[in-house]
Each structure stands twice: as C-alpha cells, then as structure tokens.
Structure 1
Amino acid sequence: MTGSVAIVGASLAGLSALRALRACGFRGHITLIGEEPHLPYDRPALSKEFLHSGEPLPLLEDHSEATELDAEWLLGRRAIGLTTCPHTIHLDDGRTITADTVILATGARPRRLSAFPEAHYLRSLDDARLLRETLAGTTHLAVAGAGFIGAEIASSAQAMGIQVTLVDPAAIPGAHALGPVVAAACNTLHARHGVQLLTGVSIATHIPATTEPVAAPGMVRLTDGTTLRADTLLVGIGSTPNTEWAVPPAGHHGTPESWCTATGFATDSLCRTTTPGIYAIGDCAHSPDPLTAHPTRTEHWTAATTQARLAVAVITGAPAPAPTAPYFWSRQYGKLLQLAGNPHAANDVRLIDGSYDAPSCTVLYERAGVPVAVFALDNPRLFTRHRKQLDRTLRSDLEIA
C-alpha cells in the first residue's frame, strides 16, 4: 500500500502506529509530528524510575530504529489547526502537512488548578526534570489527588526520604476505578509506608517555602482548616484531552468537525472518526469500550498500542488484532497493582486469594456469576491466568454478537 500518512503525536500511540504501518507493509510516506523535541520515551516511568535515576526510558529500541522506520520526524513542532479535503495539518512554524490519511494521537495534559500557579504537574519529560530538581531540596511534599499518578509520586518521594501527605476530596480515593472495597485496601499501602492520606478534604491555600528575606517552610491549609508543612505542592487530579487545536486555523474556512469534542476525538470501535481518512488513538480518543460499548477515554499503555494496531489494520486492510480486555498496572511502594476488565460492569466482588490486609490479594469482579474484571496486588501469576480468561470470554462474546 502506498499514499501518505501523517501521525500527529509522537509518544507511545503515535510511535506504535508508525511501527504498525511498516510492519503491515505500508510503503508510502509517513510524517510523525511531535510537540516535544525529545524522541519518544516511556511516560509511566516518569513517576517512578525517572525520579530516582534521572534517566528517561526510551521507547525506541535504539536510535537506528528511527532510521529503519523510514519516516519524516518533525519534533518540537506543535499542530495548531486541521482542515479537511484535503487533510492538512497546520504547524506553529507556518508549515503545513497534507496527507491522504491522518492519525490523531495528541494525548492529554494535566488538569490544572489556577489558584496554585507554583504547583508542579507531571506529564512530560520536562515536567519530570523540574519536579526531580525540586524534590532534591524538598523535605515535605503535599500531593493534591490520591489517584494512581498521585500515589505513584508519593511512593517515589517517600523512597527518597521525603515526608509526603496525600490529600483527596473523595471519601475513598480510587473507588471510581476499583470499587470501594478494593480501593480502600490499596489506600492502606500509604499508611504502611509512612505516607499520610487525608480524605474528604481539598487544599485551600498553599504558601511556598521562601529563602528571602528569611527562610520559611512552605505550608498548605486544607478546606477543613488543617494546616500542614509542604515545601512543594504537586497536583494530580486527572487530565484533559488535547483536542482543541484540531480546528481550522484563522484565515481558513470551515468549522470544527463534529467528532472534535472537549471529551476527546469521537471514534467508532475501529478508531475511525466520521471524516473518512481520519483516525484517533490513545489518550485523546473517545472510543467505545470493548466490553460495554460505552464511549470512554482509556488512558493506559495497552489501550494506546492496541488502538494503534487496530487503526493501522483498517488503513492497510491487514487482519485486525484480537480484542483484549482493558488493562492497567501501577507500582507503588514496591508493590505491583494490576487491573483488567471493567469493574463498573460488576454487581459482586469476590476475594479469591490472599486477604485485603495481606501483602498480596486477588479479586474477581463478577456480574451474575460471570467474571468481568480482575484485580491483583502483587500476584501477577494468578492475575495473568484470569486476565487471559477475560480475553477469551470477550472474543467469544464478540463472535456470538
């Protein structure tokens, strides 16, 4: 197959699409556009290994792979507009890229709290470098948001000898993702490792640490009036998909496509928007869940790679990859947390190994006695067995449908 493909976004999803195109025999011209100047790197490591080592984990096997993939790499260039017929990406340096097919993989960015301009966020390599430099001089860290990103950073900071306080407005942080019982069990990891978790409250004010005219520690005041030491504040309260750029730029006729929404680029189950030749994958895509068919954004590694392979299969006519249940993992305090499937589809939760207050446990989420999700804390072998069964059930259900 020949023609031209432009991939907007040079992180995991975009790189996975490029790899899949070449693996499927696509011989045409491919342009890979990335806002960051860096070659693709492993974002999940930014909240873990990078804060300790200072070395980013590359996604490319080595620099020679970039040559072997035979693409035009436009790094450090930001897409600022999209027009169709023909499909054209407008860049911030005035250049335009026209292609027969466009794959949108622009990811997401952290939700920000405008009241705290001094706060740190973690999404990019530059964010991580700044945070790592700041943590080197931090004794007390406050983290707004006790979700997975906040918990991972708390774990990393605690291992660096920093006193950490997690603050979350939810009564049981993580309950929306894991359910209240499993989330509560995961939350006990913080106390076991000396990290304070305060729930049902938010950060009202933050006074950064100062050195001039006199040295003074940083402080946060919570909405219940509690005051805590906090030299550094990090915010991890979710993300916003990068979609607002994909509109006709000034001076060009047209209106934003209907699939370009604030909740993500809307696609069907094959990653296709309603505009022929334009696909969306990864964190910016609002696509049907493979288990429930409800539109959702799935911000996980496996979703990005799976969607990339699926979109490329449609583009090239190659066989579609076998469907798999959504999968997510996290490392906190030396423990491996894994989740596959859709806990929201369950009406029962059953402990099948270990206990909720033990170092390891495995849980099945079931609906009418049928597993729809599995969670494990430090039990990868049993988790993998049940994850494979979820995948087999999903494929069987799709064949019947």
Structure 2
Amino acid sequence: MAEPQRIVIIGSGLAGASAAGALRERGYDKGLVLLGREAHQPYELPALSKNVLLGSADGPNRVHEPDFYDSHSVDLRLGVEVTELRLGERVVVDTTGATHSYDRVVLATGSTPRTLPVPGEDLPGLRTLRTVEDSLALRAALAERPRVVVVGAGWIGCEVAAAARSHGADVTVIDPVDLPLRRVLGPVVAKVFHDLHEQNGVHWRLGVGVDGFLPGGVRLADGSEVHGDLVVLGVGAKPNTELAEKAGLALADGGVAVDGALRTSHPDVCAIGDIAAHDHPRYGRRVRVEHWANAKDQGAHVAGTLLGLDEPYTAAPYFFSDQYDLGMEYRGLADPEHDQLVVRGDLDSRDFTAFWLREGRVRAAMNVNQWDDGVALQALTDAQATIPPDQLRSATLSDLA
C-alpha cells in the first residue's frame, strides 16, 4: 500500500486530534487536514463533568499545546462541519463549501447528548453536558443553588449530581432502573454509589421513568411530579453516524462498523472513538465504547492503519470517575448481571477492588479509592487471567499478574 499523500480527519475531538498527533509522531510528513465543528482547539471531555463543573478548573485540558498544529503542519480548520463524504471522488465537503481531497479519511465525529422523546422535550432550559460552554453555563447556574432535577443515573448523571451537591444545590435524580449504574456495575456495587449519593443529600426517584417535561420540573410515569429550577439530562449519547450512513458505509451496533484495525467497509476510510463499532479481537464481538481512553487510544492506533500497517486494536476499555470522596477506575468489559462478582476490601467503607469473572476468567476490574494496583489490574484484565476468587481477595495482586 502506497503511503497516502493527503489524509483528512473529520472531527477535532480527542480521537481526531490524537490521530493527527500520532501520524506526525510516526513520521508522516504529507498533507494532513483536521476539521472540527467547535471553535476551540481540540480538548478532552472528562473535566467537563468533574473539575470544570466543580469549579476547580476553568477549562478542560487541550489535546495538544496551542502551537502544535502550526509547528507540525496540521491544517486545523475549526467551526466547520462536514456535510458530504464522496467516496467515489475521494472528496470531503464542508459547510463553507470548501472541498478537501484525500487518499485516506478518518471519521471521528463523536456523539451528541440524547434527549427524551416525551411532551415538553423542546422546552427552553433543559440542559445537557457535552461542550465546554455547556459545562461553564451549568456551573454558573449551580452556583445559584437551585433545585436541580437530574434525569439519568449513569456516569454523567451521577457526576452532575455530585457537582450540584458540592455547590449546595438541592438535587433529585430520576431513572427507570432501580439503582444508579446498575447496568454497568450490577446491583451489589451499584448500591455503593446509591448510598454514597444518599449520604451526601441526593434524593432518588428510581424505578420510574419520565413521562414529560414541565416549565417547572418533570412529570413521572406514575403521575407524580418533581419540581425544580434546573433540569439536566444525562440519558446517554447518540453516535454521529449520519455522515457515514449518507456515504453508504456499513453500520452496526449503533455505530460505524470497523474491522480489527479500525477500517470501515471502504478500505480508504477508518472510524474511531464514539462512533466505531469495533470488531474487537479480545472479545470476539463488536464493541463500541464512549470513553476518554478509547478515543485517545484508537486515535493513536489508527495512525498505523492509515500508513499501511494491519495491526488489530486490542486495548480493553478503561474509564474513571470522581464523585464526592470516591474515586474509581474500571478496566475491561463485564456483564455484571451474569458474571461472578468478587470483592477485595470493604464495600461499606468504599475502599475496595471489584472483579467480574466469567468461567473463572477476570473480565473486568474496578478499583475504588485504591491506587497501588493499576498495573496489575490492567495485566489481569488484558490476559483475562484465570485466578481463584480466594486469591483475588487476599493475594498480592502484582504477584498474580
């Protein structure tokens, strides 16, 4: 495969900017264009629901230093959106009417916060959290100590609730599932987060969905109402696959279908980050992950694919969260409703590591307020090691790894 003379990356988030950086690090010195909808230089998202919202930072971390793009001859074009990917012509068209020819193209279009298709969904004042402007505006609103209703008890919903309580707001969290984060962590570990928020003053309305939005709050499916000055939606994100679908690329599992090396159904097009439904060699099925590490690592990996390497992307999912005095890291991919849970440490004091085993193998591990075993936990989950539960509870993890 001849080295491409021009690569266009569509999407200037963490995934796209990481791909641009990795290409230059690998010595690629030909034409490189990075197109992004936002007006800001590429930045990372985790701080938006953590440090920025809490007030300990006034902005997120940049992916690269401000002068990186000029000094590395990356043609960074901000505030533009791609409207067409013409595969036959090898051309990308953006909202300014400009066309960008390419030999290879990377789709890193990210995702958009979901809303709920219920009456009142178009009322002004419903908040989502995706951009730095969203985070700063929400922080300013929380500083007024309003009554806050958070719809959704996933990671974003829980982090927003924790930040709102840190500002002194009255907070109610609504979710149709009976425990926060249950789908990710299972009932036992999810109860830890439930109790953490309850002890910090959060009011739960669980096991009931939202039937509609009101000018002063939310109407629930049981007919009751929860009143609030501010409603924040944390009900997941929708992958931005419209461009790929319009171009005729194959879709799968809610995203853009990519092979082990992150190539789409067209050999000149790769897809990474939130939109990539990756044929993961470690798990033997497609995996689509909407987390920081996945965007960063797939961005770095796809550079090799673009330059002709055929190496599979094998990294296990990783994410982290900070809520009140609880910090955690999760590695791997579990089915918590069916996998065997093994706990090392004490759930009640929120000082533990949880393992999820399937057929005796470590499928995932989550350390909570324990920070010494990250390397060992990564090795155990990467290897899907077969370790007896009693050893996971008591043996030195570095020895097991």
**Shorter-chain TM band:** 0.7 to 0.9
The alpha-carbon distance between structure 1 residues 200 and 260, as it changes in their structure 2 partners (threshold 3 A), is same
1:315 aligns with 2:306: yes
Aligned partners of 1:370, 1:247: CA distance in 2, in Å?
38
After superposition, where does 1:74-93 map in structure 2 within 5 Å?
Answer: 74-93=77-96
Corresponding residue of 1:227: 225
2:177 touches 2:208 (CA, 8 Å); kept in 1? yes
1:160 and 2:167 aligned: yes
Deviation at 1:316, TM superposition (A): 1.8
Amino acid at match of 2:219: R
Letter in structure 1 aligned against 2:121: F
Tell me the amino acid that sits aligned with residue 349 of structure 1: L
User: Could you say if the C-alpha distance between residues 98 and 242 of structure 1 is closer, same or farther in structure 2, counting changes exceeding 3 Å?
Assistant: same
Q: Which ranges of structure 1 fall in alignment gaps of 5 or more residues?
A: 209-217, 249-255, 395-401
Asked if 1 retains the 8 angstrom alpha-carbon contact of 2:254 and 2:277, the reply is: yes
Q: State which drifts further: 146-155 or 290-299.
A: 290-299
Q: 1:279 to 1:15 in 2, by over 3 A?
A: same
Structure 2 residue aligned with 1:63: 66
Task: Please tell me whether the aligned partners of residues 270 and 314 of structure 1 are also in contact (alpha carbons under 8 angstroms).
Answer: yes
Q: 1:241 aligns with which of 239, 242, 245?
A: 239
Residue in 1 that maps onto 2:110: 107
Q: What code does the residue aligned with 1:47 have? A: S
SS at match of 1:388: helix
Residue 334 to residue 290, structure 1, CA distance change in 2 (3 Å): farther
Q: Which whole-Å CA distance do the structure 1 matches of 2:334 and 2:59 have between them?
A: 32
Check 1:54–1:229 CA distance in 2 against 1; reply closer, same or farther (3 A cut).
Answer: farther
Q: Residue 374 of structure 1 contacts residue 383 of structure 1 at CA under 8 Å; is this kept in 2?
A: no
2:266 pairs with one of 272, 275, 281: 275
114-123 or 280-289, which deviates more: 114-123
Structure 2 counterpart of 1:211: none
Deviation at 1:322, TM superposition (A): 7.6
Q: How many residues of Structure 1 are paired with residues of Structure 2 in the alignment? A: 377
Seen in structure 2, the aligned counterparts of structure 1 residues 244 and 321 have a Cα distance that, compared at 3 Å, is closer
Report the counterpart of residue 13 of structure 1 in structure 2: 15
Question: Please, which of 248, 254, 258 is the counterpart of residue 263 of structure 1?
Answer: 254
Q: In 2 relative to 1, CA 367–295 (structure 1 residues): closer, same or farther, beyond 3 Å?
A: same
- Answer with 90-99 or 11-20: which moved more: 90-99
Aligned twin of 1:214: none
In 1, Cα distance between equivalents of 2:310 and 2:58? 37
5+ long unaligned stretches in structure 2: 386-401
Distance of 2:63 and 2:378 partners within structure 1: 28
- 1:169 matched to 2:176? The reply is yes
Alignment of structure 1 residues 172-187 onto 2, 5 Å:
172-187=179-194
Q: Quick check: 1:341–1:374 contact (8 Å CA) kept in 2?
A: yes
Taking the aligned partners of 1:323 and 1:261, their CA distance within structure 2 comes to 19
**CA, structure 1 residues 366+260, in 2 after alignment: closer, same or farther (shift >3 Å)?**
closer
Displacement of 1:223 in angstroms is 2.1
Secondary structure of the corresponding residue to residue 112 of structure 1 = coil
When structure 1 is superposed on structure 2, of 235-244 and 370-379 the one drifting more is 370-379
Q: 1:329 aligns with which of 297, 302, 320?
A: 320
Question: What is aligned with 2:347?
Answer: 356
Q: Identify the residue that residue 388 of structure 1 maps to in structure 2.
A: 379
Q: What SS class does the counterpart of residue 293 from structure 2 fall into?
A: helix
Match of 1:94 among 97, 100, 108: 97
Aligned to 1:252: none
Q: CA shift at 1:383, angstroms?
A: 4.4
Residue 121 of structure 1 aligns to which amino acid in structure 2?
T
CA contact (8 A) 1:343 1:373 kept: yes
Cα displacement (A) at 1:232: 0.3
Q: Is the 8 A contact 2:280 2:314 kept in 1?
A: no
Indicate yes or no: 2:330 matched with 1:339: yes
Are 2:277 and 1:301 aligned? no
Q: 1:359 to 1:261 in 2, by over 3 A?
A: closer
Report the AA paired with residue 299 of structure 2: A
Contact 2:39 2:79 in 1 (8 A): yes
Q: 1:190: how far off?
A: 0.7
How far off its partner does 1:381 sit?
A: 1.6
**Pairing partner for 2:39 from 33, 37, 40:** 37
CA deviations 1:335-375 (Å, max 9, x no partner) are 112111111286311112x2222221111111222211111
Q: Which residue number in structure 2 is paired with residue 121 of structure 1?
A: 128
Contact 1:31 1:72 in 2 (8 A): yes
| Structure 1 vs Structure 2 CA RMSD | 2.1
Distance change >3 Å, CA 334–CA 41, structure 1 → 2? farther
One-letter amino acid of the counterpart of residue 199, structure 1:
L
> TM (normalized to structure 1)?
0.88
The one-letter code matched in structure 2 to 1:222 is: L
1:190 equivalent in structure 2: 197
TM-score of the superposed pair, with normalisation by structure 2:
0.88
SS of the residue 2:67 aligns to: helix
Counterpart secondary structure, 2:242: coil
